[in-house]
Structure 1
Amino acid sequence: MTSRAFILALALPAFTGMFVVAQPIAAIAGNLRGVVELFTSQGCSSCPPADAELARLIESGEVLGLSYHVDYWNYLGWADTLSNAASTERQYGYAHSLKRKNVYTPQAVVNGRDHANGADGAAVDALLSKLSAAGEGLTVGVEASLDDNGLNISIDDGQGEASIVIVYFNEATTVDIKKGENAGHKITYKHSVREVQTVGMWDGDAISLKLPPSLLSAHPGVGCAILLQVVGKDGAPGRILGAAIIEASEYG
């Protein structure tokens, strides 16, 4: 184990069952235009177009898209079935990092550096291109792969320090919304986030990590994204330097 990586996952118990996965997808920085994190809600009438735009980006294969369902619209008559307080906390963390006084839905945060209305696909595409041209795209190579022995992560060298973050997500979830602003709509949400977990640190030197199967078997039926992300001393998420994604149909 490299001394440059503090791996929380190694404290987890070993997984002794069969570990079955779909063919993994490994991605490096050069294969992705960027990371788009959409903050959305089933109770927000402005959000379905943004959910569709995120699905478009995901299906393009050029963008790592993640959907965070916030819980602050749940009082409107429909409690978002995918919402959680952690997603709301992450969005407020970005508001702090981006020096904003408020949050909104649908908000798309791109590369942890800037934001746009998630329903405005042209604006999100333009922001991805703008950041890339300014050298603020995914500048550090990240590779991820999955085998019977666990999750393998390799990160190239670069400048700065960052956290190694795993984001677990449902690949697709269809929800029949009964009440609230979107009552009567059946919407399929792509890459809705279930949990975010920090598993190590990167100090600018190239490293390789191997995480045990138990890390993923605790999250059956999900995919995972690996983000190399600068995090403030207060825990607020910031710039994303690199990313990779694995979509697996079955864990455990």
Structure 2
Amino acid sequence: MKVFLALSLLLATGLVAADGAEAGTAQPKAVVELFTSQGCSSCPPADAVLGELAHRDDLIALSYHVDYWNYLGWDDTLATHEFTLRQKGYAHTLGGKNVYTPQMVVNGRADAVGSHKPAIEAAIDRLDRNGGGLTVPVNVQLSGNELRIAIGTGKGEADIVVVYFDHKKTVRIDRGENRGRSITYWHVVRDVQGVGMWKGDGKKLVVPAGALESGESDGCVVLLQRMGAHNRPGAILGAAVVKTTH
């Protein structure tokens, strides 16, 4: 996980989307994060569920590939150890002792088995009813080679995090538990960058678009996320997505 240190923090007077970009202005209901692996035989059903959730307008769905199943004979082509550390951080935050795949984390506050769609839906609805939803407005738009981010007011402090993702990847797996299968993965996370801090007041900032501007990723999500000790991820307070069109 790279932390973006060289920031260009500027006051933005307006948010105007560039040509070829789709900016998410409607506030999503929840962020769902799937931790998965190409080497895990239990994961393909969860990957399919994530694909269904990724097509919903009221959700932001992200897929993180972890590396701890690589010993089974297939090195996941989309995995990084940083995503394994993110999942381990959630395990501490949510009070669990171990990580597992497939795991779906909802708003950084609850989790469920990633292939169990009813449990995931129930977690989304429960958090929404009980104040665990996305309560702080977030807006992000791509303007030229910059991301223009606007965050509303709220309580507490949180990190501003940009998550770059690929819309869709189909991978042929030649070894391991899923050998012989071609599996499609949706909203595959490729990089996570911290870009600033929010302390409850309204905030606007402009940062370089990075992998989005260079064409290395198809979209990005801005998360307003509380971080605990040792940079462990916690509750997500707000989120917005922007996608480039191809």
Q: Which residue of 2 aligns with 1:79?
A: 75
- Compared CA separation, residues 208 and 215, structure 1 to 2 (3 A): farther
For residues 106 and 209 of structure 2, the distance between their equivalents in structure 1, rounded to whole angstroms, comes to 30
Is 1:162–1:201's contact at 8 Å kept on the other side of the alignment?
yes
Unaligned runs of 5+ in 2: 10-17
The structural deviation recorded for 1:59 is 0.5
The one-letter amino acid of 1:22's match is G
Unaligned runs of 5+ in 1: 1-5, 12-19
The yes-or-no answer on 1:129 pairing with 2:125 is yes
Q: Which residue of 1 aligns with 2:15?
A: none
For residues 213 and 145 of structure 2, the distance between their equivalents in structure 1, rounded to whole angstroms, comes to 12
For residues 214 and 240 of structure 1, the distance between their equivalents in structure 2, rounded to whole angstroms, comes to 23
The one-letter amino acid of 1:246's match is V
Q: Which residue of 1 aligns with 2:40?
A: 44
> Which TM-score applies when normalising by structure 1?
0.88
Is 1:21–1:249's contact at 8 Å kept on the other side of the alignment?
no
The structural deviation recorded for 1:236 is 0.2
**Is 145-154 or 78-87 further displaced after alignment?**
145-154
* Aligned-residue RMSD, C-alpha: 1.8
The one-letter amino acid of 2:133's match is G
The yes-or-no answer on 1:232 pairing with 2:200 is no
The structural deviation recorded for 1:210 is 1.3
Q: Which residue of 2 aligns with 1:190?
A: 186
Q: Which residue of 1 aligns with 2:21?
A: 23
Q: Which residue of 2 aligns with 1:91?
A: 87
- Compared CA separation, residues 131 and 23, structure 1 to 2 (3 A): same
The structural deviation recorded for 1:7 is 7.3
Say which SS state the counterpart of residue 39 (structure 1) adopts.
strand
Q: Which residue of 2 aligns with 1:209?
A: 205
Q: Which residue of 1 aligns with 2:170?
A: 174
What is the 5 A alignment of 1:142-181? 142-148=138-144, 150-181=146-177
For residues 150 and 104 of structure 1, the distance between their equivalents in structure 2, rounded to whole angstroms, comes to 36
The one-letter amino acid of 1:168's match is Y
Is 1:221–1:249's contact at 8 Å kept on the other side of the alignment?
no
Is 1:227–1:240's contact at 8 Å kept on the other side of the alignment?
yes
The structure whose residues are more often strand, as a share, is 2
The structural deviation recorded for 1:62 is 1.5
For residues 215 and 195 of structure 2, the distance between their equivalents in structure 1, rounded to whole angstroms, comes to 15
> Which TM-score applies when normalising by structure 2?
0.90
For residues 62 and 154 of structure 2, the distance between their equivalents in structure 1, rounded to whole angstroms, comes to 25
- Compared CA separation, residues 213 and 115, structure 1 to 2 (3 A): closer
For residues 55 and 205 of structure 1, the distance between their equivalents in structure 2, rounded to whole angstroms, comes to 35
For residues 37 and 211 of structure 2, the distance between their equivalents in structure 1, rounded to whole angstroms, comes to 28
- Compared CA separation, residues 43 and 21, structure 1 to 2 (3 A): farther
Q: Which residue of 1 aligns with 2:51?
A: 55
For residues 208 and 128 of structure 1, the distance between their equivalents in structure 2, rounded to whole angstroms, comes to 28
Q: Which residue of 2 aligns with 1:10?
A: 8
The one-letter amino acid of 1:122's match is P
Is 1:175–1:188's contact at 8 Å kept on the other side of the alignment?
yes
